[in-house]
């Protein structure tokens, strides 16, 4: 059933539920940026952070996988796990070890709509409507400002911050690919959430234990539990389920554009919570990406013909 087949009252409820789910994801992922930056500034390596996320989310979702084992489409879930689980996790945690919270909000949450729009246009034959094109242009200026800020080595900018920004952009591309495949393959939100969590845990954990650098024994157990509960349960499992639900209700482009509200929330919260400062360039980037999100949240896609 397409949006055009849904009666107007039902369509409005359908839309409202999708927007509510996306709004909840915005709140959780704003906190994710704060908690992840705490991990990035700790002795934990990006590989430790990814392992904590995958193990906690995988254990939580494992019972659901056992119940739905025969219904799950494993080859497609494996691809979704590669993009939305392992690649996204490793890229984003590598970024948090090098770049500040505000950059994560702008380049990951602001970058996902750009990557989604570009991939959808080039591969799936969809292009954004005029309103979304304007929204993406406005948000794009904000992203470019952050790129100039990092690559231009402004006063006080760490020398390797641009590397973290590149990791954030790669994380955005990975998650955009995940969202588009999720919609294109019509994978249910529950199947996507539990499949990605368990496959990521099963595939990543042995490699992490045998081959990757580890510092997990250098931090208190309470810190690991904080990261595990937020990363693996709230961000990966609950927010992942809500994001998949939002995509099914309001579409990939609208859902991902709403994520561009995250930069403003996380950047402002990082000032008192993490002691990070906001210069004029970063503030301008946050404002532009947020405006782009507000403009784009009501967009419609036009099929290229």
Cα maximum dimension of the chain: 57
Q: Which of 278, 223, 293 is nearest to 102 (CA)?
A: 278
Q: Which of the four pLDDT bands, split at 50, 70 and 90, describes residue 220?
A: very high
CA atoms within 13 A on the CB side of 274: 24
Rounded to whole angstroms, the Cα distance separating 61 from 274 reads: 31
pLDDT mean across residues, the chain = 84
Rounded to whole angstroms, the Cα distance separating 104 from 285 reads: 12
Mean pLDDT of 209-214: 94
> Which domain covers residue 284, as residue numbers?
3-303
Q: Is 163 exposed, middle or buried (0-12, 13-18, 19+ CB in 10 A)?
A: middle
Mean pLDDT of 144-165: 70
**Number of domains comprising the chain:** 1
DSSP-based three-state secondary structure for 302: strand
Q: Which of the four pLDDT bands, split at 50, 70 and 90, describes residue 302?
A: very low
Q: According to the model, what pLDDT value does residue 34 have?
A: 93
Q: Which of the four pLDDT bands, split at 50, 70 and 90, describes residue 305?
A: very low
Residues recorded for the chain: 305
Express as a percent the part of the chain with pLDDT over 70: 90
Cβ neighbours for 85, distance < 8 A, ≥ 6 positions apart: 54, 196, 197, 199, 200, 236
- Answer with the residue of higher pLDDT: 273 or 131: 273
The pLDDT of residue 22 is above 80:
yes
In order, the DSSP letters of 233-245 are: IIIIIIHHHHHHH
Neighbours of 268 (CB within 10 A): 17
Q: According to the model, what pLDDT value does residue 303 have?
A: 42
- Answer with the residue of higher pLDDT: 246 or 160: 246
The pLDDT of residue 82 is above 70:
yes
The pLDDT of residue 222 is above 80:
yes
Q: According to the model, what pLDDT value does residue 126 have?
A: 75
The pLDDT of residue 270 is above 50:
yes
The pLDDT of residue 278 is above 90:
no
- Across the chain, the runs of DSSP E, i.e. the strands, are 126-128, 301-303
- Answer with the residue of higher pLDDT: 239 or 127: 239
Q: What global pTM score does this model have?
A: 0.82
- Helices and strands, counts by H and E, the chain: 14, 2
Q: According to the model, what pLDDT value does residue 150 have?
A: 64
Q: Which of the four pLDDT bands, split at 50, 70 and 90, describes residue 228?
A: very high
- Which uninterrupted H or E stretch holds 269? helix 262-274
Lowest mean pLDDT among 101-105, 181-185, 298-302: 298-302
């Amino acid at each position: 059933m397409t949006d055009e087949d849904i009666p107007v009252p039902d369509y409005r409820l359908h839309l409202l539920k999708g927007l509510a789910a996306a709004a909840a994801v915005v709140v959780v992922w704003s906190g994710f940026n704060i908690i992840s930056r705490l991990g990035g500034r700790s002795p934990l390596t990006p590989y430790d952070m990814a392992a904590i996320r995958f193990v906690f989310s995988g254990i939580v979702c494992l019972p659901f996988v056992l119940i739905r084992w025969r219904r799950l489409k494993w080859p497609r879930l494996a691809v979704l796990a590669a993009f939305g689980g392992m690649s996204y996790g490793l890229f984003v945690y590598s970024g948090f070890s090098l770049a500040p919270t505000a950059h994560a909000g702008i380049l990951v949450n602001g970058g996902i709509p750009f990557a989604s729009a570009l991939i959808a246009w080039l591969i799936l034959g969809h292009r954004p409507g005029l309103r979304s094109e304007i929204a993406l242009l406005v948000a794009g200026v904000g992203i470019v400002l952050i790129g100039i800020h990092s690559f231009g080595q402004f006063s006080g900018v760490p020398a390797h911050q641009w590397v973290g920004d590149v990791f954030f952009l790669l994380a955005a591309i990975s998650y955009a690919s995940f969202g588009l495949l999720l919609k294109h393959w019509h994978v249910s939100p529950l199947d996507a959430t539990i499949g990605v969590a368990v496959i990521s845990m099963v595939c990543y954990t042995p490699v992490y234990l045998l081959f990757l650098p580890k510092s997990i024994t250098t931090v208190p157990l309470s810190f690991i539990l904080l990261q595990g509960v937020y990363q693996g349960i709230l961000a990966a499992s609950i927010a992942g389920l809500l994001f998949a639900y939002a995509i099914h209700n309001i579409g990939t482009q609208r859902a991902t554009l709403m994520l561009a509200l995250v930069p403003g929330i996380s950047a402002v919260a990082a000032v008192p919570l993490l002691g990070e400062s906001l210069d004029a360039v970063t503030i301008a980037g946050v404002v532009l990406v947020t405006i782009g999100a507000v403009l784009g949240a009501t967009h419609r896609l036009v099929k290229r013909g």
